Copies of this chain bind each other. A is one copy, B any other.
Amino acid sequence: MSSKATPRTITVAAAQMGPNQKTDSRASILNRMLKLMDDAASQGVKLIAYPELALTTFFPVHYLTDEEEIASYFEPTSAAEPYALLSSPHVKPLVDKANALGIDFYLGFAERWTGEDGKTTDFNTAMYYSVAAGTGVGKYRKVHLPGRTEPLPDPKAFQQLEKKYFTPGDIGFKAFRAPGLVPDALKAEDVGPESETVAKGDPILGMLICNDRRWPEAWRPYGLQGAELVIEGYNTTAWAPQYDGTPEEQQETAEFHHRLSCQAGSYQNALWSINVAKCGIENNQGLIGCSLIIDPNGRIVAESKTMDDELIVATIDLAKCQYQRGRVFNFEKHRRPEHYGIILDQVGLQEIPLLSGA
């Protein structure tokens, strides 16, 4: 038994994907994902992250009315089979390869969920597949849906309609453990009284999707649960005609905000993050790249260089989370929730009153 953090080292990858055009077949997209997993295996990767809505084109930027077409973008799940997609032809080849190669994966997909009451709800979802468990061990449904419920009237406007297609996530920010992901993890019986700052047991993970990363309220719950790694996939618009600036300026700003948000979330919660893009020109609409692996100091340790399918890989030590958790970000010593009430009590911005006489 030791009071020092043991190495909790693992090789992980962000499987950045180039565009999925509307005309691309499911099979061709899945084949690219399988190839990225093969590449990962050749580099010793044990965990690979695919982007948000990885299996299809990013359909929420289109105003669709054909229910059959809309349904074609979704994977059915249910209370009885929460990970039903794993046995569908859309995903099973990925599961089979993951099992063969010993690689866990994070996957973003559109989820059409039938609850116990038989009611169907659509979510923008991510799931974590664990090889050791042989099934999904974590699901996250996007909480911070951007965009609108109804299309903008201007026919030339760029549309962002996630609020039309999806219901905000109903699970919240629920960290989970990935069994066996770090083979030499400290066991419960090895853990002594000095070990308060030693992460123990199987790695603690969290998941976010795209716009969530801009919201510190989305990162903090994972930090509070001891997450050592947050995985986040995204489709982020590079520019739109109705926004300020040239396309180049807009894209540079979008990349800046992306890096800033992911680096701040990692630093302020002293955890690793994998942030993975679907990018490039998809159906004539630009999406940013900049897939990132970030350390618990907020430093970028790996970044994509292309706007296409590209694997970025890093070998990361989860124990590095403990350094800042014992110092600047010792939450127990320094946080003051008695002053945070407004964060829950108030949803929107409410300007304080005008001065009397003003």
Which A positions have Cβ atoms within 8 angstroms of B? Answer: 143-146, 168-169, 172-173, 175-177, 179, 185, 187-188, 199-202, 204, 211, 214-217, 220-221, 223-226, 244, 253, 256-257, 260-261, 263-264, 267-268, 297-299, 323, 325, 328-352, 354-355, 358
A344 touches B340 (CB 8 A): yes
Known: A354-B202, A355-B179. A331 touches B343 (CB 8 A): no
The closest CB in chain B to the CB of A144 belongs to B334
A358 touches B187 (CB 8 A): yes
A220 touches B343 (CB 8 A): yes
**A358 contact set on B, CB distance < 8 A:** 177, 179, 185, 187-188, 201-202
Q: How far is the CA of A337 from the CA of B215 in the complex (A)?
A: 11
Cβ 8 A contact of A349, one of B224, B342, B347: B224
**A351 contact set on B, CB distance < 8 A:** 199-201, 204, 225-226
Q: How far is the CA of A200 from the CA of B202 in the complex (A)?
A: 52
**A323 contact set on B, CB distance < 8 A:** 244
**A331 contact set on B, CB distance < 8 A:** 347-349
**A264 contact set on B, CB distance < 8 A:** 216, 260-261, 263-264, 268
Q: How far is the CA of A352 from the CA of B263 in the complex (A)?
A: 24
**A335 contact set on B, CB distance < 8 A:** 144, 215, 217, 347-348
A sample of 13 inter-chain contacts (CB < 8 A) reads A146-B334, A179-B355, A200-B351, A201-B351, A201-B355, A216-B264, A224-B342, A261-B267, A261-B268, A325-B349, A331-B347, A340-B343, A340-B344
A169 touches B339 (CB 8 A): yes
Q: How far is the CA of A341 from the CA of B354 in the complex (A)?
A: 31
The closest CB in chain B to the CB of A148 belongs to B333
A79 to chain B, nearest CB (A): 20
**A177 contact set on B, CB distance < 8 A:** 352, 354-355, 358
B298 touches A257 (CB 8 A): yes
Q: How far is the CA of A143 from the CA of B349 in the complex (A)?
A: 22
A341 touches B339 (CB 8 A): no
A337 touches B343 (CB 8 A): yes
**A215 contact set on B, CB distance < 8 A:** 268, 334-335
Q: How far is the CA of A143 from the CA of B336 in the complex (A)?
A: 7
A349 touches B328 (CB 8 A): no
**A350 contact set on B, CB distance < 8 A:** 224-226
Q: How far is the CA of A267 from the CA of B213 in the complex (A)?
A: 13
A143 touches B204 (CB 8 A): no
A260 touches B253 (CB 8 A): no
**A185 contact set on B, CB distance < 8 A:** 358
**A267 contact set on B, CB distance < 8 A:** 257, 260-261
Q: How far is the CA of A341 from the CA of B177 in the complex (A)?
A: 21
